[in-house]
């Protein structure tokens, strides 16, 4: 098991190298540099050239690339020239919010998706099954942002059950109060995203449950006289959950990087909104750091998925 994890993590190194090279190339293509924000009528152009040289912007690209990697490893991502703050501080402020939102979304997602698939598979071909199949094909096709707008319009503005922007109420006091307010702010967006993203879990689990019904291990259990309830949960369900477990890493990453729209529409100050606003203000240091963050996250998600698979499925460990 440890050997497998080590092997998988080592495989990440070439991927990481390729990804950082790509992001570095994009960053170099972006107009402007860390000193663009200091332009002013009083500025001496030769002074600017000296600053650029000192910062190493005249070095060959591979020197710059390795310096950039080295800085990133030490947590130095430069300063945001729009907000005049270190990028790390900015990201730190937003990361917490996005984690809270993603965490709630993930919990709701599995809370909705798994019972849906179980209900469907148990009633194959009946009304409940057709209902959830239709529901999932609609949520698969419809762009989430249109639904976000409807939800915001209905529950946010018209019924006024939930807040329409922000991540915490400024009046909230005390540890419990602040957290209750935070949770209150993420409920509407997280429930909406979760309800719209069940299609993957639903399809995999439903198909798995239906296929495994006729597998040898289920027939053997039935022949031995194992009660139906136990056959379903201990034999069929557990095996059908394997692809769901394996997909967990990708799912988390999808939720994290899918947050741009939700955060923009619900005006929720997380990483996605930071990315959106830094692109709008051409804040390149922030954009580069966020691309690196999301890129790294997706690599970790893929590794996590493989490790989970090896952990839950002994067959993978042996081969």
Partner 1 sequence: MTEEKTQNDSKSRVSFLSKAKREFSKDKVGLISLIVVVSLLLFIFIAAIFIPTKDFVNVNIMDQFLTPGTSGHILGTDDGGRDELAMLIVASRNSLFISISFTVLTTIIGLIIGLTAGYFGGGVDWGIMRLTEFLQLLPTMMLVMVVVTIVSEYNAVTLILIFTALSWMSGVRFVRSLTLTQSRLDYVKASKLSGASPLRTMLVEILPNLSSFILADLTLNLAGNIGMEVGLSYLGFGLPASTHSLGTLLQLATDPNNMTDRLWVWLPSAIVILLFTIAIVSIGQVLRRVADQRQSLA
Q: Are 8 and 316 in contact (CB under 8 A)?
A: no
Between 232 and 248, name the residue whose CB sits nearer to partner 1.
248
Shortest approach of partner 1 to residue 26 CB, angstroms?
A: 6
Between 116 and 291, name the residue whose CB sits nearer to partner 1.
291
Q: What is the largest CA-CA distance in the chain?
A: 88
Q: Per the structure block, which two tokens stand in for 211? A: 């296929």
Shortest approach of partner 1 to residue 251 CB, angstroms?
A: 14
As a dihedral over the C-alpha atoms of residue 54, residue 55, residue 59, residue 61, rounded to 10 degrees, the angle is: 180
Query: Residues, the chain, total?
Result: 319
Between 231 and 273, name the residue whose CB sits nearer to partner 1.
273
Q: What does each C-alpha distance from 97 to 100, 227, 251, 273, 290 come to in angstroms?
A: 5, 46, 18, 11, 15
Q: What does each C-alpha distance from 115 to 151, 169, 201, 237 come to in angstroms?
A: 23, 33, 10, 11
Within 8 A by CB and 6+ apart from 305, the residues are 246, 247, 248, 249, 250
Between 237 and 263, name the residue whose CB sits nearer to partner 1.
263
Shortest approach of partner 1 to residue 292 CB, angstroms?
A: 11
Q: Per the structure block, which two tokens stand in for 68? A: 């950039």
Between 55 and 279, name the residue whose CB sits nearer to partner 1.
279
Q: Which long-range contacts (CB under 8 A, 24 or more apart) does 204-208 make?
A: 204/117, 204/243, 204/244, 204/247, 205/113, 205/114, 205/117, 205/118, 205/121, 205/240, 205/241, 205/243, 205/244, 206/117, 206/120, 206/121, 208/239, 208/240, 208/241, 208/242, 208/243
Q: Are 49 and 94 in contact (CB under 8 A)?
A: no
Between 196 and 221, name the residue whose CB sits nearer to partner 1.
196
In the numeric block, the tokens 């019972």 are attached to 115
Shortest approach of partner 1 to residue 258 CB, angstroms?
A: 8
Q: Burial level of 300, CB count in 10 A (0-12/13-18/19+)?
A: middle
Q: Per the structure block, which two tokens stand in for 25? A: 């190339």
Shortest approach of partner 1 to residue 40 CB, angstroms?
A: 24
Between 18 and 43, name the residue whose CB sits nearer to partner 1.
18
Binding site for partner 1 (CB under 8 A): 15, 18-19, 22, 26, 29-31, 137-138, 140-146, 149-150, 152-153, 157-158, 164, 257, 260-261, 264-265, 275-276, 279-280, 282, 287, 290-291, 294-295, 298-299, 302
Between 213 and 282, name the residue whose CB sits nearer to partner 1.
282
Shortest approach of partner 1 to residue 160 CB, angstroms?
A: 10
Shortest approach of partner 1 to residue 202 CB, angstroms?
A: 15
Between 113 and 156, name the residue whose CB sits nearer to partner 1.
156
Shortest approach of partner 1 to residue 294 CB, angstroms?
A: 5
Shortest approach of partner 1 to residue 102 CB, angstroms?
A: 14
């Amino acid at each position: 098991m440890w050997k497998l994890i080590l092997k998988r993590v080592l495989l990440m190194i070439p991927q990481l190298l390729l990804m950082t090279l790509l992001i570095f190339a994009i960053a170099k293509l972006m107009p402007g540099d860390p000193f663009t924000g200091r332009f002013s009528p009083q500025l001496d152009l030769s002074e600017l050239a000296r600053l650029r040289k000192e910062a190493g912007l005249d070095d060959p690209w591979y020197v710059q690339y390795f310096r950039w990697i080295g800085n990133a490893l030490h947590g130095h991502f430069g300063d945001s020239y729009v907000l005049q703050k270190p990028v790390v501080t900015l990201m730190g402020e937003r990361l917490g919010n996005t984690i809270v939102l993603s965490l709630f979304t993930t919990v709701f997602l599995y809370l909705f998706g798994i019972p849906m698939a179980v209900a469907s598979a148990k009633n194959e071909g009946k009304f409940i099954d057709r209902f959830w199949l239709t529901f999932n094909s609609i949520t698969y096709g419809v762009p989430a942002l249109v639904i976000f707008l409807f939800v915001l319009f209905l529950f946010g503005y018209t019924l006024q059950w939930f807040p329409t922007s922000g991540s915490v109420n400024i009046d909230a006091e005390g540890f419990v109060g602040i957290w209750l307010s935070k949770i209150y702010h993420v409920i509407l967006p997280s429930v909406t995203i979760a309800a719209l993203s069940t299609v993957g879990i639903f399809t995999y689990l439903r198909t798995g449950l239906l296929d495994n019904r006729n597998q040898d291990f289920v027939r053997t259990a039935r022949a031995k006289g194992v009660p139906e309830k136990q056959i379903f949960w201990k034999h069929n369900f557990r095996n059908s959950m394997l692809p769901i477990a394996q997909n967990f890493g990708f799912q988390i990453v999808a939720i994290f990087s899918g947050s741009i729209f939700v955060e923009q529409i619900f005006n929720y100050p997380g990483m996605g909104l930071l990315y959106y606003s830094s692109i709008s203000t051409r804040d390149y240091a922030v954009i580069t750091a966020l691309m690196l963050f999301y890129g790294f996250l997706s690599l970790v998600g893929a590794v996590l998925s493989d490790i989970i698979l090896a952990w839950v499925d002994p067959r993978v460990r042996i081969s």
